[in-house]
A = this chain, B = another copy of it.
Amino acid sequence: MCGIFGVSAPRMSSVLEDLYLGLYALQHRGQESAGIAWLDGKGNLELQKGMGLVHACLNQEELAKERTKCAIGHVRYSTAGESNIINAQPLHATYSKGQIAVAHNGNITNARALKRDLESRGAIFQSTTDTEVILHLMAHEQSLSPIDALVKSLSKLRGAFSIIAIIEGRLVAARDPWGFRPLVIGKRDDVYYVASESCALDIVNADFVRDVAPGEIVIIEEGKLESLNMPVKAERHFRCSFEYVYLARPDSVIDDKSVYDVRLKLGQRLACTCPCSEGELVLGMPDSGTIGALGYASKSKLPFEMAVVKNRYVGRTFIQPTQRVRSLGVQIKLNPIKGLIKGKSIVVVDDSIVRGTTSKMAVKFLRDAGAMRVHLRIASPPVKFPCLYGIDTPTSSDLAAAKMDVEALRDYVGADSLCFLDVSDLVCSVGLPEEELCTACFSGLYLKE
């Protein structure tokens, strides 16, 4: 998971602050590092990056003073063992055809083989990102123009990638032929924006234009947008269903489907397939289960209550994980309204179960608050398979639903009942044809290589 954001203006403009805001709107997609690259007035690439949240990496006040025609930015999600400034993006390089900057969201499944091949031709890798592979592939296409080299290089990649780049002074955006990760185009006056999610267009007041199509390469310059297609054709699409379930912000629209709307439908469908006759109250685990709970409640005609309150200052006032804090657990962040819960049969909706530890804590936490019975309802199918396409799910051995059946899992989390959606419910709720959607983490149906 990462977030990318780009901007192209027909003349030197104060749009770097929009880049800052766009990355801020995408902060939920990555908190490990942030960075931006932009063209200065002389056509040189400038770079700012650092570890941590957007405000810690980038200097908004300085950016507000700068002007540019083209800029890209990136927020990076922390994945184990590789947390280092050398992996912060965008990557930037000089090669035989000039300067280039690239930022990337996704996971390239044949990266290792490509790296080995490139290394045998003399390439050195200074990061552990897949992004660097793209740069090397381009540089080894000496006879092609930079854009042609990009097209050819992307054609060699398998797996998930949405990228934005500055190439020859132009903003370039591309999405893999399978459409794994989202990528949208927006416009405000004559300024174009490209973003991982539409919520980042909203914050800069840009109008949504359209999604970048799977396999499409978009080139923006001087207020004009040109579109190319990658030569590789996908047999089917693999748009990530987990974006709708958990990753994306509810106020985003991905491939024409409102994330909020999908989550509401998931909750409604859950009410149909996993009813709870003795339920007296529906609540969602903050924040990810709330919309599903709303859907469940409206469909089941059970009352919905915001019976678990999240401390507004979580994340702002830093709490060290000392022994005392660990012993207190989740109540540092969440507090139940005991008066609502006490003595009742509660239906708790959450978006998904990955490791199972959070659900276990949630159930205990509600019982401690006096719940008589706790019925856990999950607004997605069991996650049984690792994601190969850029989401930081654990390996199978750490996926609760890969190790236990539903009854064992219910026992493990301590709920009175536990019920999941099945994959077809998920597909229906998203509203895209099954062959357009990646459900690999639920179904094990991966892209064939």
Separation of A47 and B84 alpha carbons in the complex (Å): 8
Which residue on B lies nearest to A49, using beta carbons?
B85
Known interface pairs A121-B122, A203-B328, A249-B335; 9 further A-B residue pairs with C-beta atoms within 8 A, sorted by A's residue number: A17-B324, A55-B319, A64-B320, A95-B119, A95-B123, A122-B122, A123-B124, A199-B335, A260-B339
Whether a CB of chain B sits under 8 angstroms from the CB of A250 is yes
The answer to whether A309 and B25 touch across the interface, beta carbons within 8 angstroms, is no
Which residue on B lies nearest to A313, using beta carbons?
B27
Whether a CB of chain B sits under 8 angstroms from the CB of A21 is yes
The answer to whether B306 and A205 touch across the interface, beta carbons within 8 angstroms, is no
* Cross-chain contact of A312 among B28, B126, B205, B298 (Cβ < 8 A): B28
Whether a CB of chain B sits under 8 angstroms from the CB of A61 is yes
How many copies of this protein are present in the complex? 4
The answer to whether A120 and B91 touch across the interface, beta carbons within 8 angstroms, is no
Separation of A84 and B95 alpha carbons in the complex (Å): 19
The answer to whether B126 and A139 touch across the interface, beta carbons within 8 angstroms, is no
Q: Which residues of A contact B (CB under 8 A)?
A: 14, 17-18, 21, 24-25, 27-28, 47, 49-50, 53-55, 60-61, 64, 84-86, 91-96, 116, 119-126, 128, 135-136, 139-140, 142, 199, 202-205, 249-251, 253, 258, 260-261, 264, 287, 290-291, 294, 298, 303-307, 309, 311-313, 315-320, 322-325, 328, 331-332, 335-337, 339-340
A199 contact set on B, CB distance < 8 A:
309, 335
A55 contact set on B, CB distance < 8 A:
316-319
A128 contact set on B, CB distance < 8 A:
94
The answer to whether A21 and B319 touch across the interface, beta carbons within 8 angstroms, is yes
Separation of A322 and B20 alpha carbons in the complex (Å): 12
**Known: A96-B119, A122-B142. Is A253-B328 also a contact (CB below 8 A)?**
no
The answer to whether A60 and B25 touch across the interface, beta carbons within 8 angstroms, is no
**Known: A55-B318, A84-B47, A337-B251. Is A291-B306 also a contact (CB below 8 A)?**
yes
Which residue on B lies nearest to A311, using beta carbons?
B25
* Cross-chain contact of A124 among B139, B306, B319, B340 (Cβ < 8 A): B139
The answer to whether B91 and A126 touch across the interface, beta carbons within 8 angstroms, is yes
* Cross-chain contact of A126 among B92, B205, B251, B309 (Cβ < 8 A): B92
**Known: A95-B119, A135-B124, A339-B260. Is A250-B306 also a contact (CB below 8 A)?**
yes
The answer to whether A313 and B86 touch across the interface, beta carbons within 8 angstroms, is no
Q: Which 9 A-B pairs have the closest CB atoms?
A: A93-B124, A96-B119, A122-B140, A251-B309, A251-B335, A55-B317, A27-B313, A95-B124, A55-B318
The answer to whether B92 and A317 touch across the interface, beta carbons within 8 angstroms, is no
Q: How far is the CB of A160 from chain B (nearest CB, A)?
A: 23
The answer to whether A93 and B125 touch across the interface, beta carbons within 8 angstroms, is yes
Which residue on B lies nearest to A127, using beta carbons?
B126
Separation of A203 and B365 alpha carbons in the complex (Å): 12
Q: How far is the CB of A403 from chain B (nearest CB, A)?
A: 28
Separation of A122 and B97 alpha carbons in the complex (Å): 10
The answer to whether B126 and A123 touch across the interface, beta carbons within 8 angstroms, is no
A125 contact set on B, CB distance < 8 A:
93-95
Separation of A394 and B277 alpha carbons in the complex (Å): 51
A312 contact set on B, CB distance < 8 A:
27-28, 287, 315
The answer to whether B332 and A203 touch across the interface, beta carbons within 8 angstroms, is yes
* Cross-chain contact of A309 among B18, B204, B249 (Cβ < 8 A): B249
The answer to whether B304 and A294 touch across the interface, beta carbons within 8 angstroms, is yes
The answer to whether B317 and A27 touch across the interface, beta carbons within 8 angstroms, is yes
